[in-house]
Structure 1
Amino acid sequence: MKVIKIGMPIFLILLSCTFLIASINLPKANLGNPNGPLYFPLGLSVLMMIFSVIYLFQELKRLHEKNESVKDLLEGRTPMLIGLTVVYGAIYAVIFEQIGFLFSTILFLGALLFTLNGRKKWLVNILVSIIFSFISWYAFSELLGVSLP
C-alpha cells in the first residue's frame, strides 16, 4: 500500500517530464510568434511537475500514518457510483457524434446528477444539466468559435 502512495506522484512526475519534452519538441509556428504553440503545453507541463513534486512530498510526510481511505472507498455506494460514471461516460462517447454535443451533454449530466442526487432533487438536476450544457455550447461555439458536433 505504501508503494502505491509513493508510486502515483512518481508516475505523475515522469508523465510531466514526458509532456515537457514533447512540448519543447513541438514544431515552430509559420505565422505569428514561432514559439506560440509552445507556451500553453509547456506551462501545463511545468505546473503538473510542480504539483506532482508537492504531492510526492506530502505523501512522503504521511507515509507512516495509518490510512483507511482506500478501504472506505470500497464500501457503501462508492463502487456503484464509480461504475455508473464509467458506463455513462462510455455511452456519452458513443452518442456524442450521433446526436451532437448539446443533447448528449444534457443526457450525460442528467443521468449523472440523478444518480448522485436522486429523484428528490429532480428540478435542480434538470436545470443544472440543461443550463450548464447550453452555457458550455454557447461558450465554445459562439464565443470561442469552436465547431462542435
Structure 2
Amino acid sequence: MNTTFDRYAGIVFFAIGLTFMIGSLGISTSAYGSNVGANIFPMILGAFLSLMSFRLIYETFRKQRTEKSKENLDYKRFIIIFIAAVLYAYFLEDIGFVISTFLFLMIGFQTMHKGRVWVSLVIAGSFSYVVYYLYVHLLDGSLPGFPTWLGGA
C-alpha cells in the first residue's frame, strides 16, 4: 500500500464522485418507458464513489507506515481489465446487459485470481442476472436485454 498515492487518488476520486452527484441533479428525473429516471444511477454511483474515496483517505491517515517498500505495479492486469471495460461499454447495446456484464466479470475475476472457474461463473452469472432483474422488473427501468439472435426483444 502506497499511502501517498492512495491519499491523492482518494482525493481525486472523491472529487469525481461529487461531480457525478452534482451533475446528476441536472439530468431528467424521468425517462420514456421507465419509472426510474436517468439521474438515479449517476447519483448512486457518485455517492458510492465519494464514500469509498472518503474511507480510503481516512485509512491512509490512520495507517502511517514506517517502512517504505517499492511496490511492483502490475501493468498486464491493468491493461487487460481496461481493455475489458472499454469492450464492455462498446458491446453493451449489441449483446445486452446480462451477457456483457457476465463476460466482463468473468474476465475481471480470472484476471485478478486465476482458477476457481465455477465459482466465478456462478457469481458473474448471478450478479448480472439479479441486477438486470431488479432494475428492469422491480424498478421499471430499461437496460439492453438479450440480443435478438438469442430471442431477446
**1:147 corresponds to:** 142
The structure with more radius of gyration: 1
2:129 aligns with one of 126, 130, 134: 134
**2:35 corresponds to:** none
**1:87 corresponds to:** 83
Is contact 1:140-1:147 (8 Å) kept?
yes
For residues 72 and 10 of structure 2, the distance between their equivalents in structure 1, rounded to whole angstroms, comes to 20
SS of the residue aligned with 1:80? helix
TM-superposed CA distance for 1:65, in Å, is 4.0
Does residue 122 (structure 1) correspond to residue 121 (structure 2)? The answer is no
TM-superposed CA distance for 1:79, in Å, is 2.2
For residues 117 and 104 of structure 2, the distance between their equivalents in structure 1, rounded to whole angstroms, comes to 15
How is 1:75-114 mapped onto 2 (pairs within 5 angstroms)?
78-114=74-110
**2:68 corresponds to:** 67
Deviations 1:58-93 (A, max 9, x none): 54984x84432xx3142xxx3221111111101111
Deviations 1:77-135 (A, max 9, x none): x32211111111011111101111011111111122222232x3121121111111111
TM-score by length of 1: 0.59
SS of the residue aligned with 2:71? helix
SS of the residue aligned with 2:126? helix
- Say which structure is richer in helix: 1
How is 1:2-81 mapped onto 2 (pairs within 5 angstroms)?
7-8=8-9, 11=12, 22=22, 48=50, 52=54, 55=57, 58-59=60-61, 62=64, 65-68=66-69, 71-74=70-73, 78-81=74-77
For residues 53 and 125 of structure 1, the distance between their equivalents in structure 2, rounded to whole angstroms, comes to 27
Q: Cα RMSD between the aligned structures?
A: 4.0
Greater length-normalized contact order (CA 8 Å, ≥ 6 residues apart): 2
**1:32 corresponds to:** none
SS of the residue aligned with 2:140? coil
Is contact 2:135-2:142 (8 Å) kept?
yes
SS of the residue aligned with 1:72? coil
User: Unpaired segments of 5 or more residues in structure 2?
Assistant: 30-38, 145-153
TM-score by length of 2: 0.58
